[in-house]
Amino acid sequence: MFAAARPEPGKPVRQALKIEGGGVALFEASSWRVQPMSDNPQLVEMRSRRELQRYTKRDIEAYLSDVVDSAKVRKNPQAFQQ
């Protein structure tokens, strides 16, 4: 979505996107704007930490999901016998 061209006035940009689970989402951007960035270093640091935590958590969850999906478990009934 963010790689799409910026829409011109009166000419919206429409695009289909693949989403997780094999689905498709359609989006339309009819205008754009750029928010001014704050010069407050504490706010910038807080946003950076929040984004890092969000992406780290998502990466860990994806890794664990992949491990669980690809794991091969074999039972050894003798493992608990004495």
Whole-angstrom Cα distance, residue 79 to residue 26?
53
DSSP state for residue 7 in the 8-state scheme: P
Tokens read off for 81: 């016998």
pLDDT at 3: 76
* Percent of the chain topping pLDDT 70: 98
Concatenating the DSSP letter of every residue in 32-76 gives ---PPPP--HHHHHHHHHHHHHHHHHHHHHHHHHHHHHH------
User: Which of the pair, 16 or 75, is modelled with greater confidence?
Assistant: 16
Under 8 Å between Cβ of 71 and 63: no
1 band by pLDDT with thresholds 50, 70 and 90: low
18 band by pLDDT with thresholds 50, 70 and 90: confident
pTM above threshold 0.75: no
